[in-house]
Amino acid sequence: ERTARPFVLELHEGDRTMAALLGGKGAGLAEMSRLGLPVPPGFIVTTEACRAWLAGAREPDGLWDQIEAAMVDLERRSGLRFGDPSAPLLVSVRSGARFSMPGMMETVLDVGMNDAVAAALVARGEGRFAWDSYRRLVQMYGRTVLGVDGALFDEQLTRLRQQTGAATDAELDAADLERLTAGFRWLVHERTGEDLPQDPREQLHRAVVAVFASWNGERARLYRALEGIPDDLGTAVNVVQMVFGNRGERSGSGVCFTRDPVSGAPGVFGDYLPDAQGEDVVSGSRSPMDLSELGRREPALHQELSTHLRTLEEHYRDLCDVEFTVEQGRLWILQTRLGKRSPAAAFRIAVELVDEGLIDLDEALTRVDGTQLQTLLHPTFASQEGLTPLAHGLAASPGAAYGQLVFDSATAMEWTAIGRAVVLARPETSPDDFGGLLAARAVITSRGGLTSHAAVVARGLGRTCVTGVEGLVVDPVARVATLPGGVSLPEGTVVSVDGTAGEVYAGQRDVEPSAVSTAISQGVPHTAEISDSTVRAVLTLLAHADLRRRLGVMANAETPDEARAARRFGAEGIGLCRTEHMLLGERRVLVERLVTDDDRAGALAEIEALALEEFTSLLVAMEGLPVVVRLLDPPMHEFLPDLVDLSVEAAVAAERGTLDAALERRLSTTRRWHESNPMLGLRGVRLLTVLPQIIDAQVRALAEATIALRAAGHDVRPELMVPLVADVAELTAARERMEGIVADVARAHDASLHLPIGVMVELPRAALTAAALADHADFFSFGTNDLTQTSWGMSRDDAEANFLAAYREAGILATDPFKTLDEAGVGALVAMAARDGRRARPGLGLGACGEHAGDPASIGFFARTGIDYLSCSPPRIPVVRLEAGRQAV
């Protein structure tokens, strides 16, 4: 039978494993039919047919014949006939792709309705039902197949309600709906010159094509780009016998979840709307009742629904969401899929399913991810009694932040540059606002939904964001925002933005760490004692991830405070201590003194003393664990005054006759060290050629600190790392110099000391010559930020604002390579260097530090590539532990 109809499958021929061919909705319907749930009969036109249609822009050979044949079967199963007024079969024609794309594609209900069928129903005394179904068909067919603007139908409907004084659609009677049907048909004709076809088969065929075409609709394409769904999968088309929730008081439609998708709490959860078709529940045209209310009205029905929901949850072993319809007291299930859930619910449900014996802990670990955990770690506002928000909007990007209001991106950037915290408020944002989004602590917009530009970019950047703020009017010219009730918020007003709740508050609210983050860092030992179910679930799954993971998790940390925070979050050492932090800020002058030859020895001595002090406290804070100290890395100019500023200062001084020798010297030094391409300039290991003393000072300080601490009984484990090596000769030169200094220090103290020396692999040439490097390195640490910058040849500081954002907007690049590791390019270099390095030196340690090491989407790559440890910023550590565990099960 299958080969006779390659493009069509009856529901009972499929199952849940066939989502690629049947789409998610079709596979779910098929599986439910198998389980014996009350699913109306139907068939599925496969994604293969859609792909053939998309490729040829016409129907593939034999498709219509197969559909016709399937309709004959459907007539037999339902006992009804398509287009026969005496026993009319109506069908729904529903899109359904492999990956759920809610609301992004089209569905046409009530296909098969026409004048003759309506007249027959009217004659049987079902006028209201007949006209309600008819007007719905005209509306959906008009919009989906003929392309009439949906808002025009809504306008007519609203007008009719006003004229008749009906509060909701439910109060419209048969005569009203008959008029509405006529009005809709007139509208369609006026707009398209076409009438709704009276031939049900023509309706069906054109609806199927419209569903195919909706795959390439603008909304659908945008959604796929955002969610990373491939463009060539196509959608299936589900043709299912209509069951009617709009057939009187004992009929209705609902949507429900097998548990609460927001909190994760057990117990059926959902909405029900009497005398309605399914679309009405989601569209929000009437307020639905809670399922428990249905339970009071129709206890037997509620009981039956609950039984089916339990069957589904036990079968899928996960939270399911379900669409159902009741037709004159009889229950039908129309759709199921795994339910979308909040991050808090994801953890709670996963662990409670383990408690209930439905899944094991390994499985539970795969049900959550690092991105969800990251959300739960965002700080929150401390709760404050009796506080009411200024305004509500959509919770577009979670977090809690406060700052001064600004109304354009330029001001956001200026104010941030002078150290102010700002909240950017815009009517909506566009790619031009990227700089402002980046600068602001939080973003609010008056227009736009959860997929608006502001929302998407903010989530990408981890900025707190509330969109669609009700009643907010932003006037960037007058530099003021207003809210209903005469509230006026001039530029500079401090507001607090709760991106988790979607609320804006006046003034500065106190921020505190989230409950989850507090619990993790306190390392609560007995999880059963913790009352909050989500907190308990996170700790349980983190513990299990630790048991499973093969990747080590280290921290990027410089100060003892950071080191302690990292330990509390579970770091197993410091994978990257950037020594430049010691020399920036006020201490910049030390480097300036060093390079201006003013008292070079004095400056060096100070640098060394500082380093000794800082290394000592850092090593103690990380006692028992490795600390990888990277030699000074940034370009020299970062330590020197800005050349332009200084030139101006000198010019002004010369004008006034106050230019002195000191200023002249500063200017000439700054000029000498100035580089037009500093990131590709004199930095990292290259400093060896011009300023080896600074490296000597760092190594000597580390050796001194180590010997002193070990003598005092401390178990400290420092290692050294050389940045920006391109050639093995640079490494051997650096190594020789460092080993000499370590030996000198050891000799002076009559001690013995060995410090492992590793190399940062962060230039393509280092990766390409990894075998040679491995001969002289105890470990590699992949610096994927610089490696991305140098292999793409794009500046990590400028690319985003200058063109990467526009690339994403235009669909040229889907992801930011500085955020998520580019496996095809940069990843290939990492994999090659790891392989070559290990071949040359089997015990070679392999680490990765930089943004990607803390990015949930990149961790799988590192796990597969055989990296030993990832080093990330302390707050990311739990996320990496969890992801590393997930990768191992």
CA–CA distance from 618 to each of 560, 614, 621, 626 (Å)?
5, 6, 5, 11
> Does 109 participate in binding ligand ADP (rule CB under 6 A)?
yes
Q: How far is the CB of 808 from ligand ADP (least distance, A)?
A: 27
> Does 335 participate in binding Mg ion (rule CB under 5 A)?
yes
Binding partner of 786, given Mg ion, ligand ADP, none, CB within 5-8 angstroms per partner class: Mg ion
> Does 571 participate in binding ligand ADP (rule CB under 6 A)?
no
Binding partner of 109, given Mg ion, ligand ADP, none, CB within 5-8 angstroms per partner class: ligand ADP
Binding partner of 240, given ligand ADP, Mg ion, none, CB within 5-8 angstroms per partner class: ligand ADP
Binding partner of 308, given ligand ADP, Mg ion, none, CB within 5-8 angstroms per partner class: none
Q: Which is nearer to ligand ADP, 305 or 440 (CB)?
A: 305
Q: How far is the CB of 319 from ligand ADP (least distance, A)?
A: 17
Question: SS3 of 231, please?
Answer: coil
> Does 786 participate in binding Mg ion (rule CB under 5 A)?
yes
Q: Which is nearer to Mg ion, 521 or 789 (CB)?
A: 789
CA–CA distance from 237 to each of 35, 96, 556, 658 (Å)?
22, 6, 51, 82
Q: How far is the CB of 272 from Mg ion (least distance, A)?
A: 15
**Geometric angle at alpha carbon 591, from 585 and 597, rounded to 5°:** 150
Alpha-helical runs (H) found in 57-173: 63-78, 115-123, 127-144, 150-164
Pick from 389, 578, 549, 388: which is nearest to 885 by CA?
549
What residues contact 281, with CB distance under 8 A and at least 6 apart?
Answer: 253, 254, 255, 271, 272, 273, 288
Whether residue 466 contacts residue 502, with contact meaning beta carbons closer than 8 Å, is answered with yes
Binding partner of 865, given ligand ADP, Mg ion, none, CB within 5-8 angstroms per partner class: none
Q: Which is nearer to ligand ADP, 103 or 125 (CB)?
A: 103
Site for ligand ADP in 762-821 (CB under 6 A): none
What residues contact 658, with CB distance under 8 A and at least 6 apart?
Answer: none
Q: Which stretch binds Mg ion (CB under 5 A): 191-199, 331-339, 443-451, 523-531?
A: 331-339
Helix (H) or strand (E) holding 603: helix 600-621
Question: Tokens at residue 83, please?
Answer: 């287009």
d(CA 619, CA 628): 10
Q: How far is the CB of 273 from ligand ADP (least distance, A)?
A: 10
Q: How far is the CB of 96 from Mg ion (least distance, A)?
A: 8
Binding mask 79-98 for ligand ADP (x = CB under 6 A): -------------x-x----
Question: SS3 of 128, please?
Answer: helix
Binding partner of 107, given Mg ion, ligand ADP, none, CB within 5-8 angstroms per partner class: ligand ADP
Q: Which string of b and e fits 128-164 if b means at least 16 CB within 10 Å?
A: bbbbbbbbbbbbbbbbbbbebeeebbeebbeebbeee
Pick from 333, 266, 255: which is nearest to 289 by CA?
255
> Does 783 participate in binding Mg ion (rule CB under 5 A)?
yes
Q: How far is the CB of 106 from Mg ion (least distance, A)?
A: 12
Question: Tokens at residue 451, please?
Answer: 């997929």
> Does 144 participate in binding ligand ADP (rule CB under 6 A)?
no
Q: Which is nearer to ligand ADP, 11 or 474 (CB)?
A: 11
Site for Mg ion in 245-304 (CB under 5 A): none
- Type of residue at 336: T
Length of the chain equals 889
Binds ligand ADP by CB under 6 A, chosen from 240, 305, 728, 761: 240
Binding partner of 520, given ligand ADP, Mg ion, none, CB within 5-8 angstroms per partner class: none
Q: How far is the CB of 468 from Mg ion (least distance, A)?
A: 24
Binding residues for ligand ADP, rule CB under 6 A, total 17
d(CA 186, CA 367): 51
Whether residue 95 contacts residue 77, with contact meaning beta carbons closer than 8 Å, is answered with no
Q: How far is the CB of 235 from ligand ADP (least distance, A)?
A: 10
CA atoms within 13 A on the CB side of 567: 16
Whether residue 160 contacts residue 184, with contact meaning beta carbons closer than 8 Å, is answered with no
Q: Which stretch binds ligand ADP (CB under 6 A): 76-84, 238-246, 499-507, 851-859?
A: 238-246
d(CA 451, CA 484): 25
849 is catalytic: yes
Binding partner of 783, given ligand ADP, Mg ion, none, CB within 5-8 angstroms per partner class: Mg ion
- Type of residue at 441: R
Q: Which stretch binds ligand ADP (CB under 6 A): 220-228, 271-279, 283-291, 527-535?
A: 271-279
Question: Tokens at residue 428, please?
Answer: 């909506």
> Does 871 participate in binding Mg ion (rule CB under 5 A)?
no
Binding residues for Mg ion, rule CB under 5 A, total 4
Q: Which stretch binds ligand ADP (CB under 6 A): 50-58, 274-282, 539-547, 866-874?
A: 274-282
> Does 150 participate in binding ligand ADP (rule CB under 6 A)?
no
Helix (H) or strand (E) holding 415: helix 409-417
Q: Which of 256, 465, 849, 872 is catalytic?
A: 849
- Type of residue at 347: F
Question: SS3 of 65, please?
Answer: helix
Q: Which of 453, 544, 776, 852 is catalytic?
A: 453
Q: How far is the CB of 55 from ligand ADP (least distance, A)?
A: 24
The β-bridge relationship of strands 42-45 and 8-10 is antiparallel
Binds ligand ADP by CB under 6 A, chosen from 334, 361, 787, 884: 334
Whether residue 758 contacts residue 777, with contact meaning beta carbons closer than 8 Å, is answered with yes
Position of minimal CB gap to ligand ADP: 278
Binding mask 287-326 for ligand ADP (x = CB under 6 A): ------------------------------------x-x-
Q: Which is nearer to ligand ADP, 244 or 862 (CB)?
A: 244
d(CA 755, CA 739): 8
Q: Which is nearer to Mg ion, 335 or 452 (CB)?
A: 335
Q: Kindly tell me the sign of the dihedral angle through the C-alpha atoms of 798, 799, 803, 804.
A: negative
> Does 404 participate in binding ligand ADP (rule CB under 6 A)?
no
Question: SS3 of 267, please?
Answer: strand
> Does 133 participate in binding ligand ADP (rule CB under 6 A)?
no
> Does 40 participate in binding ligand ADP (rule CB under 6 A)?
yes
Question: Tokens at residue 391, please?
Answer: 């305004």
Q: How far is the CB of 290 from ligand ADP (least distance, A)?
A: 18
- Region label for 103, one of left (φ > 0), alpha (ψ between -120 and 50) or beta (otherwise): left
Binding partner of 769, given ligand ADP, Mg ion, none, CB within 5-8 angstroms per partner class: none
d(CA 161, CA 167): 7
Q: Which stretch binds ligand ADP (CB under 6 A): 276-284, 341-349, 482-490, 675-683?
A: 276-284
Q: Which is nearer to Mg ion, 271 or 786 (CB)?
A: 786
Q: Which stretch binds ligand ADP (CB under 6 A): 9-17, 239-247, 306-314, 463-471?
A: 239-247
The β-bridge relationship of strands 266-274 and 252-259 is antiparallel
Strand partners, 721: 630, 758
Annotated catalytic residues are 453, 849
Residues that bind ligand ADP (CB under 6 A): 40, 92, 94, 103, 107, 109, 240-243, 277-279, 323, 325, 334-335
Residues that bind Mg ion (CB under 5 A): 335, 762, 783, 786
